[in-house]
């Protein structure tokens, strides 16, 4: 005999999971490490979740690694509706936040009520950036793309004519706030590439 309640719950969970598949079609401004194409937001979310699994020992305070991974898997689902807002792009921050909140209402609203509340709370904690887990997750969200840019020779730094001061302000401060060890590691590597790109711009 079929359990209608259990089936209804599973239906809702599958609706959410199949909706999440759409994140694979959201393009980002960052190219893959080999420079062959732009990554999508689903790939980005997976990769930084793997960063968390691998690098959580470098968080400045003890963190719940599982919670950090959950934040990173969920944080960009809103881009299904709102799209990606490149870190070096010009955006109306209030409009982006409003669009993402509406997207969170719709996408997490596909889930059974208990999971809707739980997942939405994790997403909101990430956005608020107040807990050690959120600060570390935010730092990884900023830390991963520069590593790809370094590997592919500049990537989005070339596309947006990024200079060191802009990188330090838009990216470095967020990494340093949540993972100072990672900032100290990447800082000289990023500076080397950005300085080289600045020289190329001067030679144009």
User: What is the band of 109 on the pLDDT scale with cuts at 50, 70, 90?
Assistant: very high
Give one DSSP letter per residue of 135-178, joined into a string: HHHHHHHHHHHHHHHHHHTSTHHHHTT--HHHHIIIIIHHHHHH
Note the pLDDT tens digit of each residue in 2-31: 455 567 999 999 999 999 999 999 999 999
Q: What is the sign, positive or negative, of the torsion defined by CA atoms of 28, 37, 40, 134?
A: negative
pTM score, whole prediction: 0.93
More confident residue, 203 or 155: 155
Q: Provide, rounded to the nearest whole percent, the portion of the chain with pLDDT above 90.
A: 91
Domains of the chain, each with CATH number or no CATH:
4-202 (1.10.3210.10)
Task: Quote the Cα angle for 42-48-49, to 5°.
Answer: 90
């Amino acid at each position: 005999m079929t359990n209608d309640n259990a089936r209804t719950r599973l239906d809702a969970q599958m609706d959410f999971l199949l909706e999440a598949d759409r994140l694979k079609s959201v393009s980002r401004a960052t190219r893959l490490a080999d420079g062959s194409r732009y990554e999508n937001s689903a790939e980005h979310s997976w990769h930084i979740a793997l960063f968390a699994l691998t690098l959580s020992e470098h968080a400045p305070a003890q963190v719940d690694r599982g919670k950090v991974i959950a934040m990173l898997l969920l944080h960009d689902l809103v881009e299904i509706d709102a799209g990606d807002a490149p870190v070096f792009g010009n955006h109306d921050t209030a409009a982006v936040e409003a669009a993402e909140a509406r997207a969170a209402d719709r996408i997490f609203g596909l889930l059974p009520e208990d999971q809707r509340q739980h997942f939405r709370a994790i997403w909101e904690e990430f956005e608020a950036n107040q807990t050690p887990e959120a600060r570390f997750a935010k730092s990884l969200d900023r830390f991963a793309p520069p590593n790809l840019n370094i590997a592919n020779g500049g990537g989005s730094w070339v596309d947006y004519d990024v200079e060191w001061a802009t990188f330090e302000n838009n990216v470095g401060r967020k990494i340093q706030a949540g993972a100072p060890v990672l900032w100290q590691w990447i800082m000289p590597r990023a500076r080397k590439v950005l300085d080289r790109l600045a020289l190329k711009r001067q030679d144009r």
